[in-house]
Structure 1
Amino acid sequence: MAVSQTNSAWATLVDLGEPGRGRHRLNDRLAAGLRTAIRDGRLVEGAALPPSRALAEELGCSRWVVTEAYGQLVAEGYLAARVGSATRVSWSPEALPPRPSTPRAAAPPPVRYDLAPGLPDLRAFPRRRWAEAVRAVTGSAVHYDLGLPDPAGHARLRTTVAQYLRRSRGADAQPAAVTVCAGVTDGLVRTCRTLRAEGVTDLAVEDPGWGRLRDAAASTGLRVHPVPVDADGLRVDDLARTPARAVVVAAAHQFPAGAVLSPDRRARLVRWAREKDGFVIEDDYDAEFRYDRHPVAVMQGMAPGRVFLLGSVSKTLSPALGLGWLVAPPALAPALRAANPVATAPPVLDQLALATFIERGWYDAHLRAARRRFRSRRDLLLDTLATRLPQARVDGTAAGLHVLLHLPPGTDAREAVRAAAAAGLRLTDLDGYRMTPSADRALVLGYGNIADTEIPRAVDLLAEALSGHADAAP
């Protein structure tokens, strides 16, 4: 069999061991190291070894050492030497008898239909426009853009994000207060570190809420306290009874309850922050998607000195981009940088691509198309649920990328999720987002990353899974 001349073993690391391990002579240690590399598969069958003179020079030994080691392995059948050709590996680990196989856990069934929340429509990612933005900035970036990045983010994107937030979200944002980060979780960690450095020890979170944010806050050393939500959003009276001086809230569209923080509670929450000398961390979760009216403005515009605003493109474009922003109260911007000295911004070219994408109007156009698509898909999902599951109740504002499906009494939601998974349908139990147990049984149904044509079959599988566990729970 012909062997490629480029298949060289020159770069393979060979462990020569220590002289005191039973092999004092260097040629024996070299032979043992090569033998191990061959048996491990690091030197594959047909690989060419270095000429003896070159390897001796690299090891700092005599050529005799290498020729002796090569000769020993030729005699053992590990190597083959031919006149006028390189010495090559002539043995493969496949020659060994097969090892007893370790039983592996059964692989989970493939997901055919995805009703789990958390993703936008990845099929609709604007590949052509994004590629055009990347090409544009790659060709136009000046040389100093390619140096060490500003930890706060590139000035151009910070300016672009500030302008976007002012015109589209009603924020009171200036470029100096904007920090570019890897997403909402990254922004929350930076914020919590800052607050802890400012003397804050306790943080409140919505319950139910996104568990990853709770874990991220706890990782910074803050004590986390759950606060319930209802149809009007976070219950501020319950918040006031905790020792927290800061709270994470999704005012525009709460996840997973789907509530919008009412005007009265917005005002009371701002008043709480001022009276408590505290802070609100506003997660602007999928707020661009409102289907019955214009999206409500961010709370940050009401009290920019008391509110940190977190946002990203994870729910509008793709979480794979890893691009988000944090708007800090202007007085705390220096403290934010000081509390996160090793934090780094996303890659500069990606930042510049997003700035270009927004500046050219492509982001707004993408959002308009996404709103139309998601509104239609949400209507289809609700109509299908009403037909196939009339005994269940759908809750949540006409916004975002998910709905809450309250199940009939006696339904075992956890078992239904397992049964659906076996049929190829991914579901999410509301209990997975709770810190405090509840008798309410519900599923969080995401419709962002499922095709319209898949919804009827997905709901059929959901109905089948629920029917099999309607009376399993007490």
Structure 2
Amino acid sequence: MALHIAVEVVRDSRNSLTTQIQEFIKREISEGILQPGTRLPSSRRLAGDLDVSRSVVVEAYGQLVAEGYLEAAQGAGTRVVGHLEAEPAAPALLDEGQVPRVRWDLRPGGGNTPAFPRREWLRCYQRVLQETDSVHHGYPPPAGDPALRYELACYLGRLRGLRTSPDHLMVVAGFAQTLSLVCEVLPRLGIDELAIEDPGHPGQRQFVRESGVRAVPVRVDGQGIDVEALAASGARAVLVAPAHQFPTGVTLSPERREALARWARDVDGWVIEDDYDGGLWYERSPRPLALQRMMPGRVVYAGTASKTLSPGLRLGWLAAPRPMLDELLRARARHDLGTETLTQLAFAELLRTGLFDRHLRRLNALGRRRRDALDEAVFRYLPGAVVLGRGAGLHAYVRLPRHTDEGALVAGALRRSVLVRGAAAFHAWPRRDAPALVVGHAHLPCSGVAEAIRAMGVRSDADALLP
């Protein structure tokens, strides 16, 4: 195996070449540059690369093996030993403190995703590699590859009813990039406040604030965002998830949709539509069409493949009227040179062949079964609790009896090896009168969903949390 390593030696040094190689490799290991388990070039290969006698490298390797820095095995080559102590990794955080190891992790985060369609993705990616020419290996168009923008326009039109075209679409690195670009452009339009739903995603609130735009929380009720409260806030831009609000799961009612369209016209405002769930809808009633179709001239529609494929792809898209899209493209040009082309083309192929639709059907059938298991388990093991919102997406909002101690319930669940988030973390302002849990359930088998909820419902003298 023709491995390489960047070893620095000085031929006129007082130290021998063997000593220099030893000290260099030892230093790289100690400073964490050469990771445990890293395979090094053979002594013959490294001697050739450094233009030194092979015996110099053999002696250096031998001494490092003797000192415990390297290990050598017949047929496996020479490697950095795998048991060297490294600096402890920065702990992942929950609401407070470190994330412990548990049996059931019900947080609605990036790990709460169903299976990735490996076979279909590999087939599409292989076809792309076989058929792309040199043009596709250059810098991508800032708005995204034309093939994907065309397929997205077709897909979003038939599935979400979007009024758009390839020329009004931009491919982005997930919703985070969409929000970043919007927060950069809004102040240029004279808008320095962005209304956000409350409860909502705490990371989005922080992201907006750190982008230099003031985040204005507006309450959500059973019909979606309160448009009267939005109008009273004085904001001229709002971020909403009308199909399946996060975290409550409610759908914006037709009356509120009409009111939101009137508000946007009256204040000359903008609506940022976060369609974060994509096509994950397993409710038996039809999924509402995109809000964008009601007012395409005032909506920036944003979608993502993070929930339907994988957040690791960093693949999303936005649709905007041309003047706004031009502003967003100019803002993007200051930060990057576009989204990686081969992933775009593979996703375009997945859309074109219908494999993505087939994948969504499988996910929705799976999601329906797991949501049914959650509903049944909550009814059985959490007396008085109710699962709210539509059957969609990867999480559910479980409202608890009003006098339930939400924090105590979360802590008691953790003692039983269940990691779940209370709703308090998602509210901009404290709400002690509305205890709830935000439960990520899409990654668990039906039996796992039931067992996790059963564990939370177990009562003891120390944990009498539910009535």
Give TM-score, length-normalised by structure 2.
0.82
- 1:74-473 residue pairs with structure 2 within 5 A? 87-92=59-64, 95=67, 109-118=100-109, 122-286=113-277, 288=279, 289-341=281-333, 342-439=335-432, 440-464=434-458, 468-470=462-464
Distance 2:204 2:25 in 1: 48
For the 8 Å contact 1:114–1:449, the answer to whether it is kept is no
CA distance in 2, matches of 1:29, 1:242: 74
Which letter does structure 1 place at the counterpart of 2:323? A
* 8 Å Cα contact 2:199/2:248 also seen in 1: yes
Is the counterpart of residue 12 in structure 1 residue 7 in structure 2? Answer: yes
Larger radius of gyration: 1
Alpha-carbon distance, 1:312 to partner: 0.8
Counterpart CA distance in 1 for 2:46 and 2:134 is 44
Aligned mates of 2:283, 2:46 — CA distance in 1: 72
Q: Whole-Å Cα distance in 1 between the matches of residues 85 and 349 of structure 2?
A: 56
Partner of 1:37: 24
Instruction: Report the CA distance shift for 1:230/1:344 in structure 2 as closer, same or farther (over 3 A).
Output: farther
The alpha carbon displacement at 1:87 in A equals: 4.3
In structure 1, give the amino acid aligned to 2:222.
A
- The 1:38–1:413 alpha-carbon spacing in structure 2 relative to 1, beyond 3 Å, is same
Kept after mapping to 2: 8 A contact 1:412/1:470? no
Tell me the amino acid that sits aligned with residue 316 of structure 1.
T
User: What's the CA shift string for 1:324-370, capped at 9, x where partnerless?
Assistant: 10111222221111122123433211111111111111111222222
Work out the number of aligned pairs and report it. 436
- 1:251-271 Cα offsets, whole Å, 9 max, x none, are 111010111111111111111
How far apart are residue 46 of structure 1 and its match?
11
- Contact (CA 8 Å) 1:47, 1:89: kept in 2 or not? no
Residue of structure 1 equivalent to 2:75: none
- What secondary structure sits across from 1:281 in the alignment? strand
Query: Compared with structure 1, are the counterparts of its residues 49 and 143 closer, same or farther at alpha carbon in structure 2 (3 Å cutoff)?
Result: closer
| SS of match in other structure, 2:421 | coil
Evaluate the alpha carbon distance shift between residue 465 and residue 150 of structure 1 in structure 2; reply closer, same or farther with a 3 A threshold.
farther
Q: Which amino acid aligns with 1:459?
A: I
Deviation at 1:383, TM superposition (A): 1.1
Taking the aligned partners of 2:405 and 2:65, their CA distance within structure 1 comes to 51
Deviation readout 1:4-59 (Å, 9 max, x if unpaired): xx89997323599xxxxxxxx9415989855643543659999859999996xx8x
TM-score by length of 1: 0.81
Distance 1:99 1:163, change over 3 A: closer
Unaligned stretches of 5+ in structure 1? 1-5, 17-24, 59-65, 68-79
Structure 1 residues 49, 126: closer, same or farther in 2, change over 3 A? closer
C-alpha contact (below 8 Å) 2:18/2:60 kept by paired residues:
no
SS at match of 2:458: helix
Larger mean Cα displacement after TM superposition, 410-419 or 282-291: 410-419
Match of 1:19 in 2: none
SS of 2:63's equivalent in the other structure is coil
Structure 1 letter corresponding to 2:127: A
In 2 relative to 1, CA 268–10 (structure 1 residues): closer, same or farther, beyond 3 Å? closer
Tell me, yes or no, if the aligned pair for 2:112 and 2:440 is still in contact at 8 Å: no
**What stretches of structure 2 of length at least 5 have no aligned partner?**
69-82, 92-96
State the Cα RMSD in Å. Answer: 3.6
Q: Secondary structure at the match of 1:200?
A: coil
